[in-house]
Amino acid sequence: MLKAKSPEVKEKRLKMFVYGPPGVGKTTAALQFPNSYIIDTEHGTDFYSESINKAKSVVLNTLNPDDVKDELKALLTEKHNYKTLIIDPITQVYNATQEKWTRTFEKHAKSEKEGEVQDFGMRYWGKVKGDFKSIQRLMLALDMNVIITAHQKDIYGAGMTKLGVGPDSMKGDEYLFDLVFRVERKNGSLLAYKVKERAEIGKERFPAEFEWSYKNFLKFYGKEIVEKDAAPVVMATDEQITKIKQLTEIVKVPDEVLNKWFTQYDVDEWSEMSGEQIEKCISIVQKKLEVLKNGKA
pLDDT of 98 > 70? The answer is yes
Task: With beta carbons less than 8 A apart as the criterion, state whether 270 and 278 touch.
Answer: yes
What per-residue confidence (pLDDT) applies to 194?
A: 95
CA–CA distance, 201 with 3 (Å, rounded to integer): 26
What per-residue confidence (pLDDT) applies to 112?
A: 57
What per-residue confidence (pLDDT) applies to 160?
A: 79
Task: With beta carbons less than 8 A apart as the criterion, state whether 111 and 119 touch.
Answer: no
The mean pLDDT of 92-116, rounded to a whole number, is: 78
Task: With beta carbons less than 8 A apart as the criterion, state whether 109 and 163 touch.
Answer: no
Residue 113 confidence class, pLDDT cut points 50, 70, 90: low
Is 67 exposed, middle or buried (CB count within 10 Å of its CB: 0-12, 13-18, 19+)? Answer: middle
Task: With beta carbons less than 8 A apart as the criterion, state whether 246 and 238 touch.
Answer: no
pLDDT of 4 > 70? The answer is yes
What per-residue confidence (pLDDT) applies to 116?
A: 53
Task: With beta carbons less than 8 A apart as the criterion, state whether 170 and 94 touch.
Answer: yes
242 and 219 share one domain? no
Strands 15-20 and 145-156: parallel
Residue 219 confidence class, pLDDT cut points 50, 70, 90: very high
pLDDT of 296 > 80? The answer is no
pLDDT of 7 > 90? The answer is no
With respect to residue 48, please indicate whether it lies within any of the assigned structural domains. yes
pLDDT (tens digit, 9 = 90+) per residue, 232-285?
Answer: 989 999 999 999 999 999 989 999 999 999 988 888 889 889 999 999 999 999
What per-residue confidence (pLDDT) applies to 111?
A: 61
Task: With beta carbons less than 8 A apart as the criterion, state whether 217 and 205 touch.
Answer: no
Residue 264 structural domain = 238-296
125 and 258 share one domain? no
Residue where one domain finishes, among candidates 166, 191, 226: 226
State whether residue 87 is helix, strand or coil: strand
pLDDT (tens digit, 9 = 90+) per residue, 167-196?
Answer: 877 677 777 899 999 999 998 899 999 999
The mean pLDDT of 88-117, rounded to a whole number, is: 79
State whether residue 182 is helix, strand or coil: strand
Residue where one domain finishes, among candidates 202, 226, 250: 226
61 and 111 share one domain? yes
CA–CA distance, 157 with 167 (Å, rounded to integer): 16
State whether residue 272 is helix, strand or coil: helix
Task: Give per-residue burial for 228-250: e unless 16+ CB within 10 Å, then b.
Answer: bebeebebbeeebbebbeebbee
Closest CA to 68 of 13, 148, 124, 126: 148
Q: How many domains does the chain have?
A: 2
Mean of per-residue pLDDT scores for the chain: 88
With respect to residue 25, please indicate whether it lies within any of the assigned structural domains. yes
Question: In whole angstroms, what separates CA 127 from the centre of its chain?
Answer: 17
pLDDT of 145 > 90? The answer is yes
222 and 244 share one domain? no
115 and 251 share one domain? no
CA angle 289, 295, 297 (to 5 degrees): 105
- To which H or E segment does residue 29 belong? helix 26-30
We report the CATH number of the domain holding residue 90 as 3.40.50
How much of the chain, in percent, has pLDDT values that exceed 90? 55
pLDDT of 6 > 80? The answer is no
CA–CA distance, 297 with 295 (Å, rounded to integer): 6
Give residue 92's identity as a one-letter amino acid code: Q
Question: In whole angstroms, what separates CA 191 from the centre of its chain?
Answer: 24
Give residue 8's identity as a one-letter amino acid code: E
